[in-house]
Amino acid sequence: MFIAIITKSTGMLGPIVNLFGYIMNAIFNFFNMFGIQNIALSIIVFTLITKMIMLPLTIKQQKFTKLQSRMSPEIQAIAAKYKGKKDEISLKRQQAETQEVYKKYGASQTAGCLPMLLSLPIMLALYSVINNIPAHVNIVKDIYQNIATAISSTDGYAEILMEMSKGLTIKTKSFTEISEGILTNNHIIDVLSKFRTTNWDILIEKIPSIQGIVTNNVNEINNVNSLFGILNISDNPGWAFPGIIIPFLSMVLQFVQTKQMTAGTQAPSKDDPSASTMNSMNTVMPIMSGVFCVMLPIGVGLYWVASSFFTIIQQHFINKYFDKIGIDEMIEKNKIKQNKKNQKHPNETIKKVANQYTKSIDTYKTEEVKTDVIDNKPISTGGIAEIANILKNKNIDKGDKQ
């Protein structure tokens, strides 16, 4: 079950959620100046703006994907070379050779992860705003506020709303004031904003005295939440027409998006264990998005559809850009950029290398005898210091002979 909280987020994502909330509110207010009050339209424009904000991360991620397709055969060859070797020395050598491949292409092993890690909180923040419209769009909140004020003036309203909330995806643990038999207006709106058409009818049955206020404001809420005049973005689409259009579009567009993102990249080797997993994910994820869209409000599905649509357009121009510069030129630019970074912080680079080799020296300390020899004498792998002493004594002996 998907849990949502309409009250503004105050957790770790709070600043990002509030920033996107201001953007959504500004978009809604802009269209309101022209007499248009529609959340669906605001969501579409909101998605376009956030896609533009995330464009640098998208380009960085796609650049790494292009480079990875070129590096993958070499990395797989290294993995095959050390297959079955689990000793520390082999693992260190495999890691060093893999790092050399990344260095050769001017890439970083964390380059692909960083954009994804940064985009994850952004995506969660976007979902929070879209799923919590009254908390961020003042005009919409005012409409719900009219109903909330009327409800709070009736007896037993808190118990009625808490009972109705059990069938909705609302986290009510934060409603601590319920112990006193009351609910704040914000928490009343938390419940009301999750109402479907049938929920409003049930509310009127339970509190008949507010029928007039509910009817007038619900009509306005339905107009604000209208999509093409036939769908309500607060309702679940279900499996029937026309609601099923949203899950279907989400699934189809994600299939197209996946195909487009992998276009121009080298197909993974059949020997690569991740190849089958990746192919399965590319097939399963679009289908899962369609299934989720059926279960979630249409507003969330509309965001996914708009996001995929704008991503396809965005990806078209990104692919054109990469095709124009070519992957070889991209590699050269990466190498130049990496060299400049190393020259800018030479001390840090030297320190990292020194630390790496120091750890390697400590790892290699062992009582075993290595097969390498100097003057037909076996060398102990006790460390570089010991080898240096052997070479020093050897030079001294040569000096004495002279």
Print the SS3 string covering 316-372.
Answer: HHHHHHHHHHCHHHHHHHHHHHHHHHHHHCHHHHHHHHHHHHHHHHHHHCCCCEEEE
Q: What is the structure's pLDDT at 370? A: 44
Q: What is the structure's pLDDT at 274? A: 57
Length of the chain, in residues: 402
Q: Which residues of the chain fall below pLDDT 50?
A: 1-6, 349-350, 353-354, 357-384, 387-388, 390-391, 394-396, 398-402
Q: For 268-291, what is each residue's pLDDT tens digit?
A: 555 555 556 767 778 888 899 899
Q: Determine the Cα angle at 269 with ends 263 and 274, to 5°.
A: 90
Compute how many other C-beta atoms are within 10 angstroms of the C-beta atom of residue 129.
27
**Alpha helices by DSSP H, 131-235:** 133-136, 138-152, 157-165, 185-192, 197-206, 211-224
242 phi and psi angles, rounded to 5 deg: -95, -5
232 phi and psi angles, rounded to 5 deg: -110, 120
In whole angstroms, give the CA distance from residue 375 to residue 388.
14
In whole angstroms, give the CA distance from residue 124 to residue 60.
20
Q: What is the structure's pLDDT at 268? A: 55
**Given the structure tokens 């009050």, which residue do they identify?**
37
In whole angstroms, give the CA distance from residue 265 to residue 18.
38
Q: What is the structure's pLDDT at 312? A: 94
Give the pTM.
0.74
Q: What is the structure's pLDDT at 376? A: 47
Q: Are 141 and 8 in contact (CB under 8 A)?
A: no
**Taking the mean position of all CA atoms in its chain, how far away is CA 168?**
26
Q: What is the structure's pLDDT at 265? A: 56
Q: Are 147 and 174 in contact (CB under 8 A)?
A: no
